[in-house]
Amino acid sequence: MPAHLSRSSSPAPPGSAPGGPAPVDPAVWRLAFTVVVGALAVVFDTTIVTVALDGLGRSLHASLATVQWVSTGYLLAVFVTIPLAKWAQARVGGKRLWTGALLVFLLGSVLSALAWNAPALIAFRVVQGIGGGIMMPLMATLIMQAAKGRETGRVMATVTLPTALGPILGPVLGGLILSVASWRWLFLVNIPFCLVGAVLAHRDLPDDRPAPDAPRPGLDVTGLLLLSPGVAAFLYGLSRVGGSAGVLVPLLAGLVLVLAFVARSLPRPHALINLRLLRHRAPAASAALLFLGGTSLYGAMLLLPLYWQQVRGEGALGAGLLL
């Protein structure tokens, strides 16, 4: 028999179409569903508050310059916490870290719903951001580890779709809640996602805690102490631009701290953020695109609802639908 006929008549692997991709292990889909359920609370909460800033300012008797930190403080906490996810997973394991971060996010949600003034709400939103900042990178890590390099593109494309709906559905969901209930329900709505996500995580995530004698990676504490206050001070200065000349103090102090972090991290292979990866075109281009996309997305998410509500007189639901 000719060789090409012999190859064409060979049986296909069980459970897959001839010539098609290998099937994904059902355990991978189960794990992906588990982490997506928990992550939905984080995804929606990133944008659900944007249509509520105008009403929050009136309800809490706070200026817009203060109440915008309800959203900015959350995103800042997410940014500062993301680099800690790898170190924390190596220390305690993915399952324990995921469950702990989910419970921290749940605690922040409950406390935010009970906030009595704007500073308290901002502080509790930071607690939410700490949990969310761990969960977002850990979600992708757990799924890729479960897939073990097989069909990771298919799996990540599938699980990314629900998370991509957050910026679309978050403002609409926020407008719907505000049209029928108090602003406190913007945070109470997270409770079912967190509770169901914690139960599923306990059932479906593998126990991957490190062995007691396994080497434990160190934390770049100096880098963390440079980056965190540096970014916070820089953003605080930007939020006060247009006021007194005193805004230059936090602005310049934050810039100096961030530049010091960059100068210290570039030659270090185990820095808090491995900036040497940006020397390569692919990660540098990806980082630039993510930065520009995030700037345009979250900048518009903050400004456009305020314009539609304060200038055009739209309600929260109308602003969410327009957004």
What range does the domain containing 176 cover? 26-153+162-210+315-322
User: What is the predicted pLDDT for the residue at 23?
Assistant: 66
CA 258 – CA 264 distance, rounded (Å):
10
Q: How many domains are contained in the chain?
A: 1
Question: Is 293 among the domain residues?
Answer: no
Question: Is 21 among the domain residues?
Answer: no
| CA dihedral of 123, 126, 130, 132, whole degrees rounded to 10 | 130
| CA dihedral of 89, 94, 96, 99, whole degrees rounded to 10 | 110
User: What is the predicted pLDDT for the residue at 110?
Assistant: 94
User: What is the predicted pLDDT for the residue at 6?
Assistant: 44
Question: Is 243 among the domain residues?
Answer: no
User: What is the predicted pLDDT for the residue at 308?
Assistant: 83
Question: Is 257 among the domain residues?
Answer: no
- Segments of the chain scoring below 70 in pLDDT: 1-25, 149-154, 157, 162-163, 214, 239-246
**Angle (nearest 5°) at CA 145 between 140 and 151:** 85
Question: Is 231 among the domain residues?
Answer: no
Question: Is 206 among the domain residues?
Answer: yes
Question: Is 266 among the domain residues?
Answer: no
Question: Is 77 among the domain residues?
Answer: yes
User: What is the predicted pLDDT for the residue at 235?
Assistant: 78
CB burial of residue 144 (10 Å; 0-12, 13-18, 19+): middle
Please state whether the predicted TM-score (pTM) of the whole model is above 0.95: no
What is the domain-level CATH number for residue 140? 1.20.1250.20
